[in-house]
Amino acid sequence: MDARSGTDAASTIAALKASVISELRLADTSVEVKTTDYFNHSFVPDMVLRWGGRKAERAVYLRTSSDDAYLLEDLALVQERQPLLVPLTEAEARFEGPRTKSASTLAERARSVDALVANRGALNALAREATDAPIAELASAAFLRGASGVVDAPAATAFASAVKQGFVGVRAGDAEATSVALSESRQLLAGPEAEELADLFQAVWVGGGQAASEFPGQVSGSSTLDSSALRLLLDAVDIEDVEFWSRVARNVDIASLAGLELAAANLNFQRLMIAVASRLTVKAARVVAVDAEQQELMWAVSGGVLTAASGQLRVQFAPNTLEDFSLDGVDVTVSVPDFERRAANASIHVSGITLRAGERRLEYASEDGTSINGDRALESVGLSLGDTAQVIRAEVRADGRDLHFNLESATAYGNTRSKYPLSAVLEVAAGLSVQMDAKNLSEVQSIRTASVEPDVELSDGPDAV
């Protein structure tokens, strides 16, 4: 049926859709719902569910009948992958006493095609559970993305409760509670969602100090946490334990972080970055325009780009190439005396610079790579050329290797495919862009000296970083 046909009918249909959408959004606050112009159509969905940062989507079909035979026919007509059928009328008798043959057939057929038949009672049950704890909200979201079979309110509640109890168990190192939750998820969820939940539990298990080999589930074949599992972990519950994040950090790399979309308000992410920043390697760092001044060093990820902000500085990090940056750098060219003050303040070893004076350029560098900081000859050059001469490039030593810094775009980068410790390029980009105050300088330099716990892998694979 076309939802636009007939004024009264259209209003009723619009109200029904709005009610179901509200239930879906209460069950999963991250879901995006796009409605269509159709209602109860044989094969055109009423709405489509999408999740930001994920390629997967799920078509939703509202059904005016809850009859098993009718729904079984619908499954044969629906061509969308992993459809969600929502009967608008209740049929509680289906879930009481012995199951009928048609009900069993419907459940088997739904599971075979990764389809989910969930009445509004199930959606409301998920919504109630989702408000109880962050982990329950994550379970509810996984349900909407990947559950299959026929599910009513009691089954939905049982699933969410099992995940909640399992999360409590995995934090305490309780193998039995963890195993039960993983078993429940595998029975109900499609492969990717079940694997994500298992990866989350595994990360919490290891972060809590348990041995990966004792995890009561299939151990991930990778030693790194992928972005989806990491995001689940960061959103699951507020964890202040420093040692927990130090253990998790051993299984996080720059690719894991690039797949996130996180604001500085996520406290778990800030704790993770304190533990992991000293381990990360990147291609380059760039100072970009400041949105708002930060009182302390804060981390965020936007558009796949990791960013650190401190004071009046905001620095982006490119994992692999200069094209990874999402913003242009700021112009931080400066006179020779001011440049020398910046370098001395940040204790940066400068082996050469390029000056621009009008239409002329002048290079000043040491032959043997020693520092030119404080050279009297350089001071004389700066004084003779005056403020018209600006330092536009610098060659520095960082992590025992040569690093370039372009002051016209505030970008620090290495040669060809070389990668450097994030802490090294951050110190250069920040230290040569502004005269940093003692507090901000200390925050930036503390990353290099941060200590982490001994390696604890999620599996027996090689080091992640």
- Range of 23-37, 83-97, 250-264 with top mean pLDDT: 23-37
Residue range 238-261: average pLDDT?
88
181 within 8 A of 162, measured Cβ to Cβ: yes
* Structure-model confidence comparison of residues 7 and 217, the more confident one: 217
- How many whole angstroms separate alpha carbon 105 and alpha carbon 111? 10
Q: Is the pLDDT of residue 4 over 60?
A: no
Cα–Cα distance measured from residue 227 to residue 168, given in angstroms and rounded to the nearest whole number: 22
pTM for this predicted structure: 0.75
- Contact partners, residue 301, CB within 8 Å, separation at least 6: 257, 258, 260, 261, 262, 269, 307
Q: Is the pLDDT of residue 443 over 80?
A: yes
CA angle 188, 191, 194 (to 5 degrees): 60
Tokens representing residue 316 in the block = 């982006």
189 CB-near residues (< 8 Å, 6+ apart): 142, 143, 146, 147, 148, 197
Residue 94 has pLDDT above 50, yes or no: no
Provide the pLDDT for residue 6. 52
Share of the chain above pLDDT 70, in %: 90
Q: Closest Cα partner for 267 from 134, 127, 170?
A: 134
Cα dihedral across residues 182, 186, 191, 192: positive or negative? negative
Sign for the CA dihedral angle at 445, 448, 451, 453 comes to positive
pLDDT digits (tens, 9 = 90+) for 388-426: 889 999 999 988 899 999 999 999 998 877 899 999 999
Q: Identify the band that residue 460 occupies on the pLDDT scale cut at 50, 70 and 90.
A: very low
Joined together, the tokens standing for residue 310 give 């401190």
Q: CA 271 → CA 246, 256, 276, 409, 424, distances in Å?
A: 9, 16, 9, 30, 20
Please count the other Cβ atoms lying within 10 Å of the Cβ belonging to residue 459. Answer: 17
> DSSP of 178-235, one letter per residue?
HHHHHHHHHHHB-HHHHHHHHHHHHHHHHHTT--GGG-SSPPPS-SS--HHHHHHHHH
Decide if 435 contacts 313 (C-beta within 8 A): no
Predicted confidence (pLDDT) at residue 353 exceeds the cutoff of 90? yes
Model confidence at 93, pLDDT cuts 50, 70, 90, reads very low
Rounded CA separation 405/395 (Å): 6
Q: What is the pLDDT of residue 5?
A: 52
- Find out whether 119 and 91 touch, Cβ atoms under 8 Å: yes
Q: What is the dihedral of CA 380, 382, 387, 390, to 10 degrees?
A: 170
Alpha helices in 78-152, H assignment, sequence order: 101-112, 120-130, 134-146
Spell out the residues 6+ positions from residue 178 whose beta carbon is closer than 8 angstroms to its own: 166, 169, 170, 201, 205, 215, 216, 217
DSSP line for 356-407: EETTEEEEEE-SSS---TT-HHHHHHHHHHGGGEEEEEEEEEETTEEEEEET
| pLDDT bracket for residue 97 (50, 70, 90) | very low
Residue 465 has pLDDT above 60, yes or no: no
CA-CA distance, 279 to 276, in Å (whole number)? 5
Distance of alpha carbon 71 from alpha carbon 84, whole angstroms: 11
Contact 258, 306 (CB under 8 A): yes
Residue among 465, 398, 8 nearest 250 (CA): 465
